[in-house]
């Protein structure tokens, strides 16, 4: 099966070994001193440091607060400013989303009122007749939402054991498959899917299809599916991200601007964006991942 997706490197050079000279037989290279040798490149922050460091260059606090303030307001004064109404945008939420994008290896992040609200926003990208491939072991709320979409919205749902790529492959069809919804590990049975393998195949076979991963069971501390080829990743921030078991939240991340704009439009339209106070709590909670 893996031959469908990956090129396995040869175990040895075999007869080619004599064609290439041994590294020890090559003359030493004489290289000039690097012009940057006196200014060594700073290493990227480790994940724990990224979690504990909240800094958004585009949202500097006017008083230099080291903790992000809670902008507990519904409206903002002024004309043509960045913010006007908290449903559409709020500085506390902007700080949170910038921070989450950083730790998810994402270009864009959106936050909503719960993990199921996150999936609801994502599935609003579907239209009647679209086909969705989903696992056979899913979170109960996910099953309820998919059943509703199938019954009322005309979306076709295929449930399959996603731990076996051989079962996924026949269902992926260009022009029909609109979304592949994966959990790994699954909830509740902790079944594992090869996210990279499936993502690569889906993108080659049905380029318009979106690979969506529920990463709640792992959090970005242990797994970042965007790095494995997923198009959209969502989490229930209520679980590991909250850190204190005191809020409801959902997170949606992606790297494509067009997807981010569609997600943002839906959130603004339906009004389920995360509140300023809960945004502050989630900012505090993500530091516990460190």
Active site residues: 87, 139, 214, 239
| DSSP reduced 3-state for 38 | coil
Tell me how far apart the alpha carbons of residues 6 and 2 are, in angstroms, rounded to a whole number. Answer: 6
Let me know how long the chain is. Answer: 290
| DSSP reduced 3-state for 261 | helix
Helix (H) or strand (E) holding 276: helix 276-286
Query: 10 Å Cβ neighbour count for 133?
Result: 26
Tokens (6 digits) for 246? 């005191």
Tokens (6 digits) for 118? 């996150």
Tell me how far apart the alpha carbons of residues 154 and 248 are, in angstroms, rounded to a whole number. Answer: 30
∠ CA 19-22-24, rounded to 5°? 160
Which has the closest alpha carbon to 267: 111, 128, 141?
111
Tell me how far apart the alpha carbons of residues 179 and 232 are, in angstroms, rounded to a whole number. Answer: 10
Q: Are 218 and 233 in contact (CB under 8 A)?
A: no
Question: Could you report how far apart the first and last alpha carbons of the chain are, in Å?
Answer: 38
Q: Are 226 and 233 in contact (CB under 8 A)?
A: yes
Query: 10 Å Cβ neighbour count for 216?
Result: 23
Tell me how far apart the alpha carbons of residues 80 and 171 are, in angstroms, rounded to a whole number. Answer: 48
Tell me how far apart the alpha carbons of residues 254 and 121 are, in angstroms, rounded to a whole number. Answer: 13
């Amino acid at each position: 099966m893996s031959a469908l997706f990956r090129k396995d490197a040869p175990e040895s050079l075999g007869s080619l070994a004599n064609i290439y000279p041994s590294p020890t037989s090559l003359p030493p290279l004489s290289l000039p001193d690097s012009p940057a040798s006196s200014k060594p490149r700073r290493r990227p922050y480790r994940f724990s440091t990224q979690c504990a460091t909240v800094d958004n260059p585009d949202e500097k606090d006017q008083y230099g607060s080291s903790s992000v303030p809670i902008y507990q307001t519904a409206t903002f004064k002024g004309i043509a400013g960045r913010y006007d109404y908290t449903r559409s945008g709020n500085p506390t939420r902007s700080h949170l989303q910038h921070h989450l994008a950083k730790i998810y290896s994402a270009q864009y992040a959106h936050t909503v009122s719960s993990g199921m609200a996150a999936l609801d926003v994502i599935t609003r990208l579907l239209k009647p007749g679209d086909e969705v491939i989903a696992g056979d072991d899913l979170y109960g709320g996910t099953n309820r939402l998919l059943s509703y979409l199938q019954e009322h919205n005309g979306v076709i749902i295929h449930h399959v054991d996603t731990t076996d790529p051989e079962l996924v492959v026949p269902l992926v069809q260009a022009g029909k498959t609109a979304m592949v919804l994966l959990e790994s590990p699954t909830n509740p049975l902790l079944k594992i899917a090869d996210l990279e393998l499936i993502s690569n195949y889906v993108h080659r076979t049905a380029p318009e299809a979106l690979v969506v991963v529920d990463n709640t069971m792992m959090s970005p501390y242990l797994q970042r599916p965007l790095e494995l080829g997923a198009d959209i990743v969502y989490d229930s921030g209520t679980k590991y991200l909250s850190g204190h078991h005191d809020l409801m939240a959902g997170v949606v991340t992606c790297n494509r601007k067009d997807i981010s704009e569609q997600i943002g439009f839906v959130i603004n339209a339906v009004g389920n964006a995360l509140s300023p106070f809960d945004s502050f709590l989630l900012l505090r909670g993500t530091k516990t991942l460190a």
